Chain A
C-alpha cells in the first residue's frame, strides 16, 4: 500500500468535495482520513489516501486539478513516508486556551513557547473578533511537564500583551459536553492519525 497526503484549497463553492474525491476514486484510491474546513470564504481540505500501487505524484495532482477545474483548485500531493512520522509525544491531551487582545505574532509566540517545552499541538483553532483574539488548541503535554508550569509559561508570554492562558485536561470538556459517564485518568487516545484511524470509503 502507498499512502499520499493531498491538500486542496480554493474559493468555497458547492461541489468541490465531490470533484476531489471523485478524482481519487477514479485513480483507485481509498481515503483513510479527511479534514475539511471553510475559513473566511476559502475552502481547504486535507486527505490521507491509500493506493494499492505507487502513484505518480505530479499525475495525481494534475488529475485532481483537472477534475475540479471549474473551481480553480490549488492542489498539493506528497507521498507519506513512514520515516517522516516520528513517535508522538508521550503524554496526555490537554486543551490550551488563550484569550485576549489581538496582536501580530500572538500565535507565533505561543507556538514557540509550546515547542520549546516539547508540547505537540494536534489541533488548533484561532480567530479574531474585532480587537479580541481567541485560540483553542488540543495538545499533548510531555509527561514531565505539569499543566501549572505550562500555564505559567504562557502567562509569562502574555504578560503585557493582554492575554490570558488556560491549560485544562480534556476530560473536563468531555464531562461538560457529553452525556456519557464521567471519565477520569488517561486521555482517550494517544494519536488518532497514527493509531486506530478507520478508513473512510467514498
Chain B
C-alpha cells in the first residue's frame, strides 16, 4: 500500500514542477565502422546507428507511457569522429557529418553528438581536418553537434587549438548570420570533457565505454525551486536546512532518471551507463536554475552571494544524487546556460549579471560559459582568450568547464540574440577590454599541465 501523500508528492514533481527526463542519450561506438573507403565508412555508420538506435524512439515512448514521466529528447552520442574518420579527406569527414544528420532524422533522434576532436595535448591531421570542417558542418546540418576538448588537468591546455577555434567560431557564426550565429550553439569547447556526458551539444562516446550504453540526463530545476520555495514559505530555514531540502529533492529526481535509464536499457538489451544529475534549465518560467537561487534569497542574480548560493545548490544536488544512485556521471552539476534560462537571461538584460560574474560562478558548478552571446565584431583572439580563461578554471580545479559562446554577426552589446526553442534568447554581453590579450593567445603552444600538489 502506498501512502497517498507519497504518490501525490511524486506526481506533483511532474504535474506542477515540470520534472522530466531531459534526455535519453545512447552512447554508441562507431570505431568498428572505420574504412579507407568513405562510402563504406558512411554505409557502415548508417547500418550501425540503425541496428542499435533504430528502436530508441519507440522504446522511449513505451517507457514514457509506463511511468508517466515525459522523455523530452532522444539523442545519440557517437565516438569522436576525428578518430572514426581518421585518414579521410575533408570531403570524407563532411560525408560522415551528413550521414549522421540524415540517419538521426531517419530514426527519430533529436540530436547526434560526437563530431568531436580531442586535442588537449596536440592535434592529428584528422583532428585539424575535423576542426576546419566545423563551420560547414555547423551551418549545413540540423542535428549534428560538435565538441573539441582543448585541455585536461593531465595534459595542460592546447593554445594552438584554442586560437584556431576563435576563428572557427567567427566563421560558423557568419555562415549562420540569419539565425544570430546559431551554428556556434552546436559547438562546445571543453576542458576535462567527460566521456559519458548525455547532454548536448557536448555529448560524445568516449574512450573506455562499451559498444553501446544508455545514459540519462535528468532535469528538475522546477522541482528543486518548488521545494525551496515551500520550505522558505513555511519556515525560516537556515542555509543548512535549505541544502538538506535540495538533497532530498535531488534524490527523488535522480531515482526517476535511473529507473527510466535502466528500463530503456533493458528493453533495448544494452547496458545502462549513468545518470547525469545536472540541473538543466529550459527557457520556460519555472524551469530555471536562476529561479532556484532567487528562491534561496538572491533576488538579483549576479549580486554578491550568487556564487555562494550556486555552490550550495550544486553540492547539495551532488550529495542527494550520489546517495540515490551508484551510477552518477557525466557533468552532474547545475547548468548556467544563459539564453536557456529565463532568470539568468533577465539578469543579463538588467545588467546585473556580467561575463566576469558568470565566469566566477562556473568555478563552483558545471558546465561553464554556456549559451552566451557576445558582440559580432569580437575578434578571434579575444574569443580564444575567453575560451582559455574558462578552460583554465577547469584544468586547474580538476573539473569540467566548457565554453559555448556565440559572436552574433552584425549585433552589438545590449541587443537581443534569438536562437529559439530550447536554446532561448539573451541580450548580448559586452566583453570588457576586448583585444587586450591578443599577444598572449598568439604565443600559441601549450599551457603546461598544472601541479597536483600544493593545492591552495
Contact = CB atoms under 8 A, between A and B. Distances in A.
Interface of A: 95, 97, 123, 125, 127, 134, 136, 138, 146-148, 151, 164, 166-173, 175-177, 179, 182-185
B256 A175 contact: yes
Interface string B1-42: 110101111110001000000000000000000000000000
A172 B2 CA distance: 12
Nearest to B12: A99
Interface in B160-212: none
A99 B439 CA distance: 65
A183 B67 CA distance: 13
Contact of B68 (A125, A166, A183): A166
Contact of A176 (B252, B263, B266): B252
Q: Chain A interface mostly helix, strand, loop or mixed?
A: mixed
B65 A146 contact: yes
Contacts of B263: 171, 184-185
Given A147-B66, A167-B68, A172 B8 contact: no
B381 interface: no
B255 interface: yes
B11 A166 contact: yes
Given A97-B8, A147-B65, A176-B10, A136 B2 contact: yes
Interface string B287-325: 000000000000000000000000000000000000101
Interface residues of B, number: 25
Contacts of A175: 255-256, 258-259
Counting from the closest, the 6 A-B pairs by CB-CB distance are A168-B68, A175-B255, A175-B259, A148-B65, A176-B252, A172-B67
Nearest to A192: B1
Contacts of B97: none
Nearest to A169: B66
Interface of B: 1-2, 4, 6-11, 15, 65-69, 252, 255-256, 258-259, 262-263, 266, 323, 325
A134 B10 CA distance: 14
A169 B67 contact: yes
Nearest to A149: B65
A147 B258 CA distance: 21
A56 to B, nearest CB: 33
Given A168-B68, A169-B67, A177 B259 contact: no
A151 B64 CA distance: 13
A176 B255 contact: yes
Nearest to A177: B6
A20 B262 CA distance: 47
A184 B266 contact: yes
B71 to A, nearest CB: 13
